[in-house]
Amino acid sequence: MRVTPERVAAEYEWVRNRADAVVPLLNEVRSELGDLFDAEVDPVTADQYREAVDAVFADGDLAVNVAAMVGILRELDVQDDYPGFVVDELVGRELAGAIAGNQPLRLLGEATFHFADVTTHGDPAEETAGADDLDAALAAGFQTRLPGWGWTESESPFAVASRK
């Protein structure tokens, strides 16, 4: 794989145009997590998703890494899939974390990837082994990055500077 500015731009367009597949999955994940944690979680619109994609790819250092992982997952296929299971899980988890942001959001994005991946299954006859992991990673990373969770909307009570 060769990653150039043109390849990054192409992957950006692909991810941005994937809203029809990613946003419903993202909202499904939010709804299920909200139910599990007894929390109200705002759904995400396609426009919010695209704005978040724009923000991720506006940071060139982040964009090149995200584009490379997206490209890997789009192309990754392993005969009989199972021997490659660890590879697509690893790349998917890293992609979700990179999109989600800095800690603790990064870890939440990685954990959410595994939650999203359990319910995301592509058609092996039509897709590469990494395709469903890619959708799960995009949904997990962007759902974590985007607002809508109440606890992310206020200052942390643990911030020492806020006590002064």
Contact 1, 91 (CB under 8 A): no
Across 7-21, 55-69, 127-141, 150-164, least confident range: 150-164
CA-based R_g, the chain, Å: 16
Phi and psi based region of residue 104 (left: phi greater than 0; alpha: psi -120 to 50; beta: remaining): alpha
Give the per-residue pLDDT at 84: 59
Mean pLDDT across 62-71: 97
Is pLDDT above 80 for 18? yes
Give the per-residue pLDDT at 113: 95
Structural domain boundaries in the chain: 5-163
Residue scoring higher pLDDT (119 or 72): 72
Is pLDDT above 90 for 122? no
- Which tens digits make up the pLDDT trace of 94-118? 999 999 999 999 999 999 999 998 8
Query: Measuring CA to CA, how many Å separate 18 from each of 23, 83, 87, 100, 158?
Result: 8, 27, 22, 17, 37
Q: Is the pTM of this model over 0.85?
A: yes
